[in-house]
């Protein structure tokens, strides 16, 4: 039998109380029996006889009551413990059921997790296959795109090559045309130079003829008038003086025009333009006309010469010439403008 420790302390306490009560009673009884009064004094004393057995019986009864109380308490505690044990058992049962339910739930969750994991693995496998298929499709599309780009680049390259070939052909054609034009221009220039030279020779012959005719006429006049030697000398001197004056005036006109002339960028050696300038006795320019230009003379070159003459506006020194000399030589001046210091 298992000893209940809850009754030890009450039992010890009851035992100590009994001993104390017995000790007090015995001490009181001994002190009363040994006390002798010196003087007999009659007093009325009320005494109560204490029966030790009764006292012990009552004490025992008290102890029994305490023991019963302790036993009741113990029974109550045992009942409470049993109740607590029953509640614990019920709680344990409930906990077991709860655990069982939790285990079942865990098993169900585990199965669900396994199913989810299997589904996830299957989905992953499907996704992997799908990704592989997409990668293959993308690679195929990329290869197709590369092939398409390659074809497009080839097409562009072919088009560029064809365009370059056409451009080269065009350049060759242009070069041939330029050469043909240059050859024609050279031929035209040669013909123009020849024409100018021919015209110059004709002009010189005409001038020589006029001079010869003039000289002949002068000589005839001198001979017919029987002019003396002095008159003839004077006439010759005058003719020479007039010739020098005309040459000087022509050079003056040319210099004035050259000073005002602004050379165009396309001016080249060999370009020739012939101007016909009408003048007043004061030297003022009345009109300007282009009587001839060779094939190499550009519009800019001709325009620059005409502009230079317009800039002069008036040849002041011509007003100092003799009126007869002016009328004979400068009413209408033919000027051939052919600069020799231009670029080739």
State the Rg of the chain over Cα: 80
Residue where the block lists tokens 């072919």: 158
Give the whole-angstrom CA distance, residue 65 versus residue 59: 9
Give the whole-angstrom CA distance, residue 233 versus residue 231: 5
Residue where the block lists tokens 């317009």: 310
Burial track 258-284 (b if 16+ CB lie within 10 A, e otherwise):
eebbeebeebeebbbbbbebebeeebe
249-301: per-residue pLDDT in tens? 999 999 999 999 999 988 888 899 999 999 999 999 999 999 999 999 999 99
The closest of 24, 8, 30 to 59, measured between CA atoms, is 24
Q: What is the CATH number of domain 245-344?
A: 3.30.1150.10
Count other C-beta atoms under 10 Å from residue 25's C-beta: 14
DSSP string, 132-151: HHHHHHHHHHHHHHHHHHHH
187: enclosing H helix or E strand = helix 52-225
Count other C-beta atoms under 10 Å from residue 289's C-beta: 12
The structure tokens listed for 162 are 């064809």
Torsion of CA 235, 236, 242, 247, to 10 degrees: 170
- Which residue ranges of the chain lie beneath pLDDT 50? 226, 343-344
Residue ranges per structural domain of the chain: 245-344
Give the whole-angstrom CA distance, residue 272 versus residue 286: 23
CA distances from 44 to 30, 37, 41, 47, 122 (A): 22, 15, 10, 10, 116
Give the whole-angstrom CA distance, residue 238 versus residue 219: 14
* Structure confidence at residue 36 (pLDDT): 56
- The three-state secondary structure class of 30 is helix
The closest of 250, 267, 282 to 339, measured between CA atoms, is 267
Burial track 28-48 (b if 16+ CB lie within 10 A, e otherwise):
eeeeeeeeeeeeeeeeeeeee
* Structure confidence at residue 344 (pLDDT): 40
Give the whole-angstrom CA distance, residue 57 versus residue 63: 9
Does the predicted model carry a pTM greater than 0.85? no
Count other C-beta atoms under 10 Å from residue 309's C-beta: 20
Give the whole-angstrom CA distance, residue 5 versus residue 9: 8
* Structure confidence at residue 202 (pLDDT): 77
Q: Residues 316, 283: contact at Cβ < 8 Å? A: yes
Burial track 212-242 (b if 16+ CB lie within 10 A, e otherwise):
eeeeeebeeebeeeeeeeeebeeeeeeeeeb
Give the whole-angstrom CA distance, residue 328 versus residue 142: 95
């Amino acid at each position: 039998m298992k000893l209940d420790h809850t009754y030890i302390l009450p039992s010890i306490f009851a035992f100590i109380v009994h001993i104390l009560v017995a000790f007090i009673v015995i001490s009181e009884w001994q002190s009363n029996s040994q006390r002798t009064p010196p003087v007999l004094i009659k007093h009325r004393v009320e005494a109560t006889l204490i029966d030790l057995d009764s006292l012990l019986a009552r004490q025992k009864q008290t102890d029994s009551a305490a023991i019963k109380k302790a036993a009741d308490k113990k029974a109550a505690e045992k009942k409470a413990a049993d109740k607590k044990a029953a509640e614990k058992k019920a709680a344990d049962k409930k906990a077991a059921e709860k655990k069982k339910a939790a285990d079942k739930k865990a098993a169900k969750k585990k199965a669900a997790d396994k199913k989810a994991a299997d589904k996830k693995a299957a989905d992953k496998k499907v996704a992997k296959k799908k990704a592989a298929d997409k990668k293959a499709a993308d690679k195929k599309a990329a290869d197709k795109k590369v092939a398409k780009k390659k074809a497009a680049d080839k097409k562009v390259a072919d088009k560029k090559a064809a365009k370059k070939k056409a451009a080269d052909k065009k350049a060759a054609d242009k070069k041939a045309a330029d050469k043909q034009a240059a050859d024609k221009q050279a031929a035209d220039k040669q013909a123009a130079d020849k024409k100018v030279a021919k015209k110059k020779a004709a002009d010189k012959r005409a001038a020589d003829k006029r001079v010869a005719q003039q000289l002949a006429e002068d000589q005839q006049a001198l001979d017919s008038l029987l002019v003396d030697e002095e008159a003839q000398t004077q006439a010759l001197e005058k003719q020479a003086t007039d010739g020098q004056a005309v040459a000087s005036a022509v050079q003056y006109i040319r210099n004035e025009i050259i000073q005002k002339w602004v050379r165009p960028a396309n001016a080249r050696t060999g370009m020739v333009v012939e101007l016909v300038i009408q003048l007043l006795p004061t030297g003022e320019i009345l009109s300007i006309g282009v009587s001839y230009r060779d094939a190499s003379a550009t519009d800019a070159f001709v325009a620059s010469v005409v502009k230079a003459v317009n800039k002069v506006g008036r040849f002041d020194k011509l007003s100092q010439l003799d009126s007869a000399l002016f009328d004979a030589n400068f009413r209408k001046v033919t000027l051939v403008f052919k600069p020799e210091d231009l670029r080739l």
